[in-house]
Amino acid sequence: MELTGPVFGVTDVTALDRDLTRRHQGEPLGERITVTGRVLDRRGRPVRGQLVELWQANASGRYAHQLDQHPAPLDPNFTGFGRCLTDDAGTYSFTTIKPGAYPWRNHVNAWRPAHLHFSLFGTAFTQRLVTQMYFPGDPLFPYDPVLRSVTDESARRRLVCAYDHALSVPEWSLGYRWDIVLDGPSATLFEEGDPS
């Protein structure tokens, strides 16, 4: 597994926190995307006021973190992390850049498929859940030990978002939908224990 990323509090969450493309003076490199969905409980009820964090690699497959020594370029206009609170319908939304695949030296020619990390908090820090969202049709799925470790095919499919043309913003971003179910038989798979 990988190191867990940013941990924010709920203080001063602003609209800018959910748009990872507008935090710097210049435009980030890569394909701009909108990712939205709902955070739901086992009965399909919305989870309101939930702090949702996102962190990711840039379009070249590199994290803006000192531990990432992959020789892909850093993007000075993209740091790759954001946060938002779910609304009354349990909806979250981020505008970001589609991340690139990256090597991770787990085995020979090991590459991680493009993915976003999500973290959700309950009412206390100890209730933090961490998961990953993948993009449809990635050719690296069969080679990724993290995704392959999910032996239940339906659980693995729930980790892959869906392209949603209605969410695409004309001349701005492509849209993806991904709901997060916190518990029950249709729950999104979360990392257990120390994810490092």
Which are the catalytic amino acids? 63, 102, 112, 115, 117
Q: What is the largest CA-CA distance in the chain?
A: 46
Distance between CA atoms of residues 90 and 143, nearest Å: 34
16 by Cβ neighbours in 10 Å (0-12 / 13-18 / 19+) ranks as: exposed
The backbone torsions φ and ψ at residue 46, rounded to the nearest 5 degrees and listed phi first, read -70, 145
Six token digits for residue 121:
């908090």
Alpha-carbon 27 to chain mean position: 20
